[in-house]
A = this chain, B = another copy of it.
Amino acid sequence: MAKTLIVGSVAFDAIETPQHKTEKIIGGAGTYICLAASYFTNPSIVAVVGGDFPKEYIEKLQRRGVHTEGVQIKPNEKTFFWSGKYFDNMNQRETLVTELNVLGNFDPILPDSYKDAEFVMLGNLSPQVQRRVIEQLPQKPKLVVLDTMDFWIDCALEELLKTLRMIDVIVINEEEARHLSGEYGLPQAARKIQTMGPRYVIIKKGSHGALLFGEGKVFSAPALLLEEVIDPTGAGDTFAGGFTGYLAQRNATDFETMKSAVIVGSAMASFTVEAMGTQAIENLSQEQISARVQEFRDITSFAI
């Protein structure tokens, strides 16, 4: 099991779906990534929260074996807060509130104990902050995985391109891949993005699964057909956490292991959407995870 470093927001979310509505609950990309990765490795998280962030929320991560020494607490500031509302088919959402608060001037300082990390997952934050994390590592890690979003492609493209040159795997959705590459076809988009730095490109297609491109090969992972999606929040982050955590557990970065990691990430994400917020991934058993992976095997295997 290799050491894993995660950077990402630890925050408050308030989520509204056609059926449910939460108060301010624990959220943030870093939280979902850590929880998902925690089933495979003991990740270290770099993040920042305000004085208003409940100690119990940090303890939630600690109980899952997450190292939280790198979580800065700014007593006189407020925690990042996001609120969003999903529509009928959960395919569209509207952001109701984004309060950057402590994230506005987040400087991710790595404790010394984090610096020998071999697997790094850079959650969706500004490309400058993501780069700042890599730059503090004295040695090149085995694998750096990055998530990003449309906002940074639009507003910080040059910074993003600089950061992309330093990473190995990008996790991105279909529209973002087209946007970043200027290519409509996904094989073409992936190849274009590979020229920007990452050797591996993972394109998430929501309810249509995910694609992994690398080493001139492609892997197509299905999505499970869930009876009901309760809350899609954090599904992408959970995917990234499960993916990175599994590779760290296996301490491998070859294409075959990455294929398995994509399935594990997909399996973890399929849990996340079955309950509001982080609820469904706070307390899974290894048996539940194995059974879910088996479902992926069942729906894709054929003998011909």
Q: Which residues of A contact B (CB under 8 A)?
A: 88-89, 184-188, 205, 208-209, 211, 217-223, 225, 227-228, 256, 259-260, 262-264, 293, 297-304
Contact indicator A259/B211 (Cβ below 8 Å)? no
Contact indicator B264/A304 (Cβ below 8 Å)? yes
Copy number in this complex?
2
CA of A47 to CA of B303 in the docked complex: distance in angstroms?
35
Q: Chain B residues near A219: list those with CB within 8 A.
A: 299-300, 302
CA of A227 to CA of B190 in the docked complex: distance in angstroms?
12
Closest to A290 in B: B304
CA of A298 to CA of B297 in the docked complex: distance in angstroms?
14
Contact indicator B260/A304 (Cβ below 8 Å)? yes
- CB<8 Å pairs between A and B, sample of 19: A89-B184, A186-B225, A187-B225, A205-B208, A208-B208, A208-B209, A209-B220, A209-B222, A217-B298, A219-B300, A220-B223, A220-B300, A222-B300, A256-B303, A260-B304, A262-B302, A297-B302, A297-B304, A300-B300
CA of A209 to CA of B227 in the docked complex: distance in angstroms?
19
Contact indicator A222/B220 (Cβ below 8 Å)? yes
Q: Chain B residues near A221: list those with CB within 8 A.
A: 302
CA of A256 to CA of B301 in the docked complex: distance in angstroms?
10
The one of B89, B220, B304 that contacts A263, using a Cβ cutoff of 8 Å = B304
Q: Chain B residues near A302: list those with CB within 8 A.
A: 219, 221, 256, 259-260, 262-263, 297
Q: Chain B residues near A262: list those with CB within 8 A.
A: 302
CA of A272 to CA of B227 in the docked complex: distance in angstroms?
34
A270 vs chain B, min Cβ distance (A): 13
Q: Chain B residues near A218: list those with CB within 8 A.
A: 225, 299
A9 vs chain B, min Cβ distance (A): 30
Contact indicator B225/A299 (Cβ below 8 Å)? no
Q: Chain B residues near A303: list those with CB within 8 A.
A: 256, 259-260
Closest to A190 in B: B225
Instruction: Identify the interface centre among A89, A211, A304: most chain B CB within 10 Å of its CB.
Output: A304
